Amino acid sequence: ETGVTQTPRHLVMGMTNKKSLKCEQHLGHNAMYWYKQSAKKPLELMFVYSLEERVENNSVPSRFSPECPNSSHLFLHLHTLQPEDSALYLCASSQELKANYGYTFGSGTRLTVV
Amino acid sequence: SQKIEQNSEALNIQEGKTATLTCNYTNYSPAYLQWYRQDPGRGPVFLLLIRENEKEKRKERLKVTFDTTLKQSLFHITASQPADSATYLCALRNSGNTPLVFGKGTRLSVIA
C-alpha cells in the first residue's frame, strides 16, 4: 500500500444512481487531488484541495461533487453519471501544493457507468 | 496551446539494454519535472523529480536529464529487466502552486 487508500476498488453504477468514492491518507499531507484517467488519454485533473479548502475546480461537470471534511479524507460524490464517465478515478496527496513534492497516488477506483 | 508529448506510445527493448524515454513540452516554463511509473490497474508511483537548474539526476538504475533549451526530458533505465515493464509518465508544473500536469505515458516492455 502506498499510504493513500481508495475505496471501493471497483464500482458499477446505473446512470440514475448516487454513489461516493472515498480517499484516505495518513501521511500528514496537506494537499489532496482527484484525477480521472481514461484509456488513451493523460490523467485529467479534476479537483485540488489544500488544507481542506478547494483551490481548483477544473471545469468538471456538476454531477461530480467533491468533499474534503478534513486533511486526511477526500470524497467524490457521483450522481446521474453518463457512460463516458467510466474511467479510473485516482486520488493523490502531496506534502504541500508547492512544486517540489512528488505525489502519492492511491490504487484508484475503476468506475463503470451502465 | 500547452502540450506534453511522450514520443512513443509503446517501446519494446531487450533485457539488459538501456531504455530511453522522451518527454517534450511546449508553452510551459516548468520549474520542476517529475517521472512516475504506473502498472496496470494501479495508481502512478513517483520515481524522480528534477529541477530546472539541474541537468541530470540519478537513482539506482534510473537517470533523468532536463534540457530547458530543448524543452525536453530524457528518462533512462540502464540494465533493463522484465520487471521494469510498465507505463512511465512524465509530469510537470510551473513554479508556484499549480498542480501537476501529466503526459499520456510510454508503455515499456522489456523482453527476456
Taking the CA of residue B29 and the nearest CA in chain A, the distance in Å comes to 12
- pLDDT tens digits, one per residue of A10-60: 999 998 889 999 999 989 999 999 999 998 889 999 999 988 888 877 789
Radius of gyration of chain A (CA): 13
Task: Confirm or reject contact between A112 and chain B (CB < 8 A).
Answer: no
- Show which residues on chain B lie within 8 Å of chain A, measured between beta carbons: 4, 31-32, 34, 36, 41-46, 49, 51, 89, 93-105
Q: Which residues of chain B have pLDDT under 50?
A: none
Q: What percentage of chain A reaches a pLDDT higher than 70? A: 98
Q: How much is the pLDDT for B31?
A: 79
The size of the A-B interface in CB pairs under 8 A is 63
Output the CA–CA distances (angstroms, integers) from residue A65 to A19, A31, A62, A76, B4, in the order listed.
11, 17, 6, 6, 28
Cβ contact, residue pair A2, B49, below 8 Å: no
Average of per-residue pLDDT across A68-77 = 95
- pLDDT tens digits, one per residue of A74-109: 999 999 999 999 999 999 999 988 767 899 999 999
Q: How much is the pLDDT for A1?
A: 67
Q: How much is the pLDDT for B64?
A: 98
Taking the CA of residue B72 and the nearest CA in chain A, the distance in Å comes to 18
Q: How much is the pLDDT for A96?
A: 87
Residue-wise burial string across A73-111, b where 16 or more C-beta atoms lie within 10 A, e elsewhere? ebbbebeebeeebbbbbbbbbbeebbbebbbbbbbbbbb
Q: Which helix (H) or strand (E) holds A4?
A: strand A4-7
Residue B4's contacts (CB-CB under 8 Å, 6 or more residues apart) are: A42, B23, B24, B25, B28, B90, B91, B92, B101, B102, B103
Q: How much is the pLDDT for A67?
A: 96
Q: How much is the pLDDT for B96?
A: 67
Task: Confirm or reject contact between A108 and chain B (CB < 8 A).
Answer: yes
Cβ contact, residue pair A99, B97, below 8 Å: yes
Rounded-to-integer distance, Cα A67 and Cα B19, Å? 41
Q: How much is the pLDDT for B98?
A: 79
**Are A82 and A51 a contacting pair, CB within 8 Å?**
no
Nearest to A108 among B4, B43, B93 (CB): B43
Q: How much is the pLDDT for B71?
A: 93
Cβ contact, residue pair A100, B51, below 8 Å: yes
Q: How much is the pLDDT for B3?
A: 86
